Amino acid sequence: MANLTLVQAINLALIQEMERDDRVIILGEDVGVNGGVFRVTEGLHKRFGAKRVVDTPLAESGIIGTSIGLAMAGLRPVPEIQFDGFLGPAYDQICSHAARMRTRTRGALTVPLTVRVPVGGGIHAPELHSDSPESIYIHTPGLKVVMPSSPYDAKGLLISAIRDPDPVMFFEPKRIYRAFREEVPEDEYTLPLGKARVVCDGEDMTMVSWGASVVQCMQAIERSGRRIELIDLRTLYPFDMDCVETSVKKTGRCVIVHEAPKTCGFGAEIAARIMERCFLHLEAPVQRVTGFDTIMPYYKLELDYLPDADRIARAIEETAAY
């Protein structure tokens, strides 16, 4: 075991997968000599060489488009898009091609690529460096979407993503890149995509979240003194509705928390599924604590935008009192 940050856990997963499988290559802006702007790929260029850890031209569409080609030819590319806000130019390649290739060719050509993207706010970053666009990709059939909230999960989920036969968007919450450490096995392990993690058990209420917001949820739960079952979805597509259903049928109350804007945020889908599966078990309306339907503000006001323990605690109390 090693006591690792989320950055170090991802770095270790990349090293182990590259050692295990020479089809795995890394490409992106500044991922090579510089080791990535967050140092996630630190040391990999030296270790595996410029052939497998490639500093590309500055072109997100190019990075993903060529990765699709590499993947269709049988490699396992792990491209990095440097920040959430720079996904724009890559959108066409991800959604028009990566997501559709298996279907279009009836499986003759597939795209086993894993797109790593630092995501979310809370690090005092400039404009377009703090967005939470996961819903756009969850809403694109053909993609899998993962967002870990801990070093242990990050390592196991990334290895599963790389080995997955379909394209995976792997969102890394940059707010917790170095916020805490966790014991992470140095040996190889995988965690299944599509399985949630019950962070803590509880009878009074269910809370569903993912990514960096899980930390805020834990703070709010601790403060409330209530027995709240916190579910970290970990994989946002395919998502573990069975886990949510079991919990909500037990508790009858549910609060969903995410950083992304409210409208068409993934919380809306979870809430609708709860209506479908648990309606007769509900004691209170399902609540969402989310970012607002605004542009993510520059960092002076970002903490007013992001769901924090106070806002979550208020939703807990109102949901409990309903």
Partner 1 sequence: MPIKTVLTTTINRVSILDEHGHFDAELGNGLIPDADLVRLYEHMCSCRQLDEVAFKLQRSGRMGTYPQNMGQEAASLGAAYVLNRDDWLVTCYRENCGLFWRGVPVESILLHWMGDERGNAMSREHFATPIAVPIGTQMLHATGLAWASKYRGEKRIACTFFGDGATSEGDFHEAMNFAANLDIPVVFCCQNNGWAISVPGKIQCSAPTVAQRATAYGMDTIQCDGNDLFAVVYCFRRAVEIARSTGRPSFIEAVTYRLGDHTTADDARRYRDQAEVDAWRGRDPIIRIRKHLVEKSLWSDAKEQELLARVEREVAAAVERAETIPAPPRTDFFDSMYAEIPPDLLLQRTTMQTHGIGQDPSQIDGAVIELPAKSNH
Residues in contact with partner 1 by CB under 8 A are 29-30, 32-35, 37, 55-62, 85-86, 88-89, 124-129, 255, 262-263, 285, 287-295, 297-302, 304-305, 307, 311, 314-315, 318-319, 321-322
Nearer to partner 1, 141 or 285 (CB): 285
**Torsion-angle region of 2 (φ positive above 0: left; ψ -120 to 50: alpha; else: beta):** beta
The half-sphere exposure of 18 on its side-chain side, counting CA atoms within 13 A, is 22
Using DSSP, state whether 220 is helix, strand or coil.
helix
Nearer to partner 1, 125 or 184 (CB): 125
Shortest gap between Cβ of 173 and partner 1 (angstroms)? 18
Strand pairing class (228-232; 197-200): antiparallel
Q: Give dist(CA 32, CA 79) in Å, integer.
A: 12
Shortest gap between Cβ of 45 and partner 1 (angstroms)? 10
**Torsion-angle region of 120 (φ positive above 0: left; ψ -120 to 50: alpha; else: beta):** left
What are the structure tokens assigned to 44, written together? 């990999």
Nearer to partner 1, 252 or 297 (CB): 297
Shortest gap between Cβ of 261 and partner 1 (angstroms)? 9
Q: Does 129 qualify as catalytic in the annotation?
A: yes
φ and ψ at residue 2, rounded to 5 degrees: -135, 150
Shortest gap between Cβ of 299 and partner 1 (angstroms)? 3
Nearer to partner 1, 44 or 161 (CB): 44
User: Which residues, 6+ apart, have CB-to-CB distance to 49 below 8 Å?
Assistant: none
Shortest gap between Cβ of 216 and partner 1 (angstroms)? 14
φ and ψ at residue 275, rounded to 5 degrees: -60, -40
φ and ψ at residue 292, rounded to 5 degrees: -85, 170
Q: Give dist(CA 284, CA 20) in Å, integer.
A: 49
Nearer to partner 1, 231 or 306 (CB): 306
φ and ψ at residue 65, rounded to 5 degrees: -60, -45
Nearer to partner 1, 189 or 299 (CB): 299
Q: Give dist(CA 53, CA 291) in Å, integer.
A: 36
The catalytic residue among 129, 139, 258, 281 is 129
Using DSSP, state whether 291 is helix, strand or coil.
strand
Shortest gap between Cβ of 219 and partner 1 (angstroms)? 17
Catalytic positions are 129
